[in-house]
Amino acid sequence: GAGVSQTPSNKVTEKGKYVELRCDPISGHTALYWYRQSLGQGPEFLIYFQGTGAADDSGLPNDRFFAVRPEGSVSTLKIQRTERGDSAVYLCASSLTVEGHSYTFGSGTRLTVV
Amino acid sequence: DQQVKQNSPSLSVQEGRISILNCDYTNSMFDYFLWYKKYPAEGPTFLISISSIKDKNEDGRFTVFLNKSAKHLSLHIVPSQPGDSAVYFCAASEYGGSQGNLIFGKGTKLSVKP
């Protein structure tokens, strides 16, 4: 597609439930990133992929969070046993290579845990 | 502890005048800096970047200045236009632009009044 697509755009879930957030990067982009933006804060790094492998997952807050990119294109961020503190906008970005950081962000998935 | 600080949550400027957005950082290992712009309900958009080997980078109406000794950078927009109204994020990396982990500030909301 022309841009980075994230689905769903909004997700409301109950505390304790499992959620999956999907990211479709720009075709041909090898690097893919997940960030989380809480209210009043800047984006916070979670994980990035170079191809199929997670090159750096140091930003994942705990083991309830996991992300995959099995074919080097679409990525899914998975959150188990959601907590109210997980409520945020989850942003995905992609870039042709990992250099330069001028990557393209999607519009995000707004996750609300009630 | 915030490594990238944008101490002004908001800034209001008259159309045609200069907008100056400021950013301070604490990590002396940061060597690559970026500015992103974000409109409501959209992902951040890359604006301009600067490497630590430079003290100025210019792109049209946008100029970024870097003062390494003061650990301070600023974004100048001249002349400001109503369409520049957005939230501006400063971001930094300590990998010379070669890896995905960016540290963002909390953002400054710029309002340009006609």
Residue A82 has a CB neighbour count (10 Å cut-off) of 21
pLDDT band, residue A1 (cuts 50/70/90):
low
Q: Is A40 on the interface with B (CB under 8 A)?
A: yes
Q: Percentage of residues in chain A with pLDDT exceeding 90?
A: 81
Q: List CB contacts (< 8 A) between B6 and chain A.
A: 42
pLDDT band, residue A101 (cuts 50/70/90):
low
Closest chain B residue to the Cα of A37, Cα to Cα: B106
pLDDT value of position B104: 95
Measure the CA–CA gap between A4 and A112, rounded to whole angstroms. Answer: 21
β-strand partners of B61: none
Q: Which runs of E-coded beta strand occur in B26-106?
A: 32-38, 45-51, 56-59, 62-67, 72-77, 86-93, 103-104
Name which of B46, B100, B104 is nearest A102 (Cβ-Cβ): B46
Q: Is A53 on the interface with B (CB under 8 A)?
A: no
| Low-confidence residues of chain B: pLDDT under 50 | none
Angle at B86 between CA B14 and CA B2, to 5 degrees: 115
Give Cα separations from B71 to A40, A88, B2, B36, B41 (angstroms): 23, 30, 14, 19, 31
Looking at residues A59-66, what average pLDDT do you find? 96
Give Cα separations from B103 to A1, A17, A40, A42, A52 (angstroms): 28, 30, 15, 9, 23
Omega of the bond leading into B9 within 30 degrees of 0 (cis): no
Q: Is A66 on the interface with B (CB under 8 A)?
A: no
Contact B89 A41 (CB under 8 A): no
Q: Would you state the structure tokens that stand for residue B32, as one six-digit string?
A: 């690559």
Q: Which residue has the higher pLDDT, A101 or B26?
A: B26
Closest chain B residue to the Cα of A100, Cα to Cα: B97
What is the phi/psi pair of residue A80, to 5°?
A: -95, 155
Q: Are A95 and A3 in contact (CB under 8 A)?
A: no
Measure the CA–CA gap between A75 and A33, rounded to whole angstroms. Answer: 9
Contact B43 A100 (CB under 8 A): no
Name which of A41, A44, A55 is nearest B100 (Cβ-Cβ): A55
**How close A17 gets to chain B, by Cα (Å)?**
25
Instruction: Tell me which residue has tokens 């990590």.
Output: B27
| Averaged confidence pLDDT in chain B | 94
Measure the CA–CA gap between A14 and A81, rounded to whole angstroms. Answer: 9
Q: Percentage of residues in chain A with pLDDT exceeding 70?
A: 96
Residues of chain B by 3-state class (helix, strand, coil), percent to 5 = 5, 55, 45
- Is pLDDT above 80 for A100? no
Q: Are B61 and B77 in contact (CB under 8 A)?
A: yes
For an interface test with A, the pick among B46, B49, B90 (most A C-beta atoms closer than 10 Å) comes out as: B46
